[in-house]
């Protein structure tokens, strides 16, 4: 595939960006849309550093499903949020997060090397078809719209939710018409932006002032807009919202809005998907999967089995 830089056998508990990130194309987020995880500086967040990956061994059956001759792959990641999304440790160089652990775990099961490149969240999916990256790992939510051009291999279940300031009168958001007249902050190029833009008409049809969608490439900017009063509410990943509320003062989690499967992203028709699916299922069967979720406090996002491009969840 491409010249390897990171050998999967290295006993690191996180990926060091100085060694792996060849291009810094900007920060993004991703969550159900990508690492849409919101953020304060990772170095201040008390990030867990337990090594839950280095003991994982190659599984010959899964590795056999890789295209012949595959020894290394290039993965695109979006950085800039806080755990459980992809973030930096306090040294400002080492990457960590749930997606990082799952990516490294799958690489170990398949016995391949990884070359990691950083890109903005909204640039990753469009670049897959060109072959610039072999796959993306930034908490990409599986939607029917995305499935038209991208294949996914699921590894967790996350989704969309809302958070706001503690002094806000907002309660549970079950209908987007509750947002009418408000400023809603979210990540650029995410499922959140798409959902909000697609449903703005609901306000005008109800005779109300439309909400305004404020998009940011930097997750930290999303939260600054809320804290400083430029926005009224944030829409982001369920796991990312819960983490932000737990680690930033003056915020409150409102509710889950829409659950989504999350998966590694590949160009349509990629022959890598079956091998990745088998690798995730191997992690599920040997206990590694549960250890990763426990590390990041996301056991509520567990799946029973990995699937390739399942239909978007309706509930």
Please choose, from the candidates 243, 242, 223, the residue with its C-alpha nearest in 3D space to the C-alpha of residue 233.
Answer: 223
pLDDT at 244: 86
pLDDT at 4: 33
Q: What share of the chain is helix, strand, coil (3-state, %, to 5)?
A: 30, 25, 45
Rounded to whole angstroms, how far apart are CA atoms 92 and 104?
19
Q: Which DSSP category does 164 fall into?
A: E
Q: 289 phi and psi, to 5 degrees?
A: -60, -50
pLDDT at 180: 97
The encoded tokens of residue 2 equal 């491409």
CB contact set of 55 (below 8 Å; sequence gap of 6+): none
The encoded tokens of residue 132 equal 């610039």
Rounded to whole angstroms, how far apart are CA atoms 98 and 138?
9
Beta bridge partners of 256: 161
Q: Please check whether residue 267 is in contact with residue 128, taking contact to mean a CB–CB distance below 8 angstroms.
A: yes
What are the pLDDT tens digits along the chain (315 aa)? 433 333 333 333 344 433 333 322 333 333 333 433 344 343 434 788 999 999 999 999 999 999 999 999 999 999 866 689 898 888 888 899 999 999 999 999 999 999 999 998 889 999 999 999 999 999 999 999 999 999 999 999 998 999 999 999 999 999 999 999 999 999 988 889 999 999 999 999 999 999 999 999 877 889 999 999 999 999 999 988 988 888 889 999 999 999 999 999 999 999 999 999 999 999 999 999 999 999 998 998 999 999 999 999 876
pLDDT at 218: 79
Maximum Cα interatomic distance, the chain, rounded to a whole number of Å = 61
Q: How many CA atoms lie within 13 A of 110 on its CB side?
A: 29
């Amino acid at each position: 595939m491409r010249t390897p830089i990171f050998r999967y056998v290295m006993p690191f508990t996180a990926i060091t960006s100085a060694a792996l990130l060849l291009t810094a194309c900007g920060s993004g987020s991703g969550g159900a849309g990508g690492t849409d995880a919101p953020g304060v500086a990772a170095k201040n967040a008390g990030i867990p550093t337990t090594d839950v990956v280095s003991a994982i061994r190659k599984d010959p059956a899964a590795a056999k499903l890789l295209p012949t001759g595959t020894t290394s792959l290039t993965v695109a990641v979006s950085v800039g949020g806080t755990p459980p999304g992809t973030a930096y440790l306090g040294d400002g160089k080492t990457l960590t997060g749930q997606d990082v652990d799952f990516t490294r775990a799958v690489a170990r099961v398949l016995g391949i090397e990884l070359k990691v490149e950083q890109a903005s969240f909204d640039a990753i999916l469009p670049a897959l078809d060109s072959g610039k990256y072999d796959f993306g790992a930034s908490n990409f939510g599986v939607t029917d719209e995305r499935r038209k051009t991208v294949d996914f291999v699921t590894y967790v279940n996350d989704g969309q939710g809302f958070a706001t300031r503690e002094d806000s009168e907002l309660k549970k958001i079950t209908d987007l018409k509750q947002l009418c007249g408000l400023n809603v902050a979210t990540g650029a190029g995410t499922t959140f932006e798409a959902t909000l833009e697609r449903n703005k008409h609901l306000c005008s049809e109800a005779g109300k002032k439309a909400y305004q969608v404020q998009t940011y490439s930097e997750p930290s900017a999303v939260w600054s807009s809320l804290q400083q009063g430029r926005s009224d509410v944030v829409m982001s990943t369920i796991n990312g919202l819960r983490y932000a509320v737990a680690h930033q003062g003056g915020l409150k989690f409102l509710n889950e809005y829409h659950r989504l499967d999350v998966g590694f992203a590949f160009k349509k028709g990629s022959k890598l998907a079956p091998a990745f699916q088998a690798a995730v299922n191997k992690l599920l069967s040997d206990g590694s999967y549960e250890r990763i979720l426990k590390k990041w406090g996301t056991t509520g996002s567990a799946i029973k089995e990995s699937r390739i491009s399942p239909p978007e969840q309706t509930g």
